[in-house]
Amino acid sequence: MIDLKLLRKDPQGVQARLRTRGDFDLGSILALDQQQRHLEEARSQLQARSNQIGKAIGDKIKAGIAPQSPEIETLRAEGTQIKTTLSELEPQERELKAQLETLILTLPNLPSDSTPVGKNEAENVEVRRWGEEYIPQRADLKPHWDIGEALGILDFKRSVNVAQSRFVTLVGAGAALERALIQFMLNRHIQAGYVEVMPPILINSDSLQATGQLPKFAEESFKCDADDLWLAPTAEVPVTNLYRDQVLSAEELPIHHCAYTPCFRREAGSYGRDTRGLIRLHQFNKVELVKLVHPDTSAQAHEALVQDAATILEALKLPYRVLELCTGDLGFGAAKCYDLEVWLPSAGCYREISSCSNFGDFQARRGNIRFKEAGQKGTQLVHTLNGSGLAIGRTMAAVLENYQQPNGQVRVPEVLLPYLGREIL
pLDDT, one tens digit per residue, over 107-130 is 999 999 999 999 999 999 999 999
69 annotated ligand-binding residue: no
3-class secondary structure, 162:
helix
236 annotated ligand-binding residue: yes
- In terms of Cα–Cα distance, which of 340, 398, 390 is closest to 143? 398
Distances (CA, A) of 346 to 39, 138, 141, 170, 351: 62, 11, 7, 20, 11
pLDDT, the chain, mean = 94
Mean pLDDT for the stretch of residues 163-183: 96
Main-chain phi, psi angles of 364, to 5 degrees: -65, -35
Distances (CA, A) of 17 to 101, 107, 122: 20, 12, 20
Predicted TM-score (pTM) of the model is: 0.90
pLDDT tens readout for residues 283-329: 999 999 999 999 999 999 999 999 999 999 999 999 999 999 999 99
Please state, in angstroms and rounded to a whole number, the distance separating the CA atoms of residues 260 and 218: 23
- In terms of Cα–Cα distance, which of 104, 87, 94 is closest to 50? 87
Per-residue confidence (pLDDT) for residue 70, from 0 to 100: 87
Residue 131: Cβ within 10 Å count: 17
3-class secondary structure, 300:
helix
pLDDT tens readout for residues 343-378: 999 999 999 999 999 999 999 999 999 999 988 989
Domain 121-420 class in CATH: alpha beta
CB 217 within 8 A of CB 237: no
234 annotated ligand-binding residue: yes
Active site residues: 265, 280, 352, 355, 394
The dihedral through the CA atoms of 184, 337, 235, 247 has a sign that is positive
* Ranges of each domain in the chain: 25-105, 121-420
Please state, in angstroms and rounded to a whole number, the distance separating the CA atoms of residues 70 and 2: 53
Contacts of 363 (CB under 8 A, 6+ apart): 210, 211, 212, 240, 333, 369, 384
Q: Which has more confidence, 144 or 67?
A: 144
Residue 339 half-sphere exposure toward CB, CA atoms < 13 A:
17
159 annotated ligand-binding residue: no
114 annotated ligand-binding residue: no
341 annotated ligand-binding residue: no
Q: Which has more confidence, 266 or 313?
A: 313
Please state, in angstroms and rounded to a whole number, the distance separating the CA atoms of residues 384 and 330: 16
* pLDDT of 271 higher than 60: no
352 annotated ligand-binding residue: yes
How many helices (H) and strands (E) the chain has is answered by 13, 16
Please state, in angstroms and rounded to a whole number, the distance separating the CA atoms of residues 158 and 135: 33
220 annotated ligand-binding residue: no
Assigned fold of 25-105? Helix Hairpins (1.10.287)
3-class secondary structure, 51:
helix
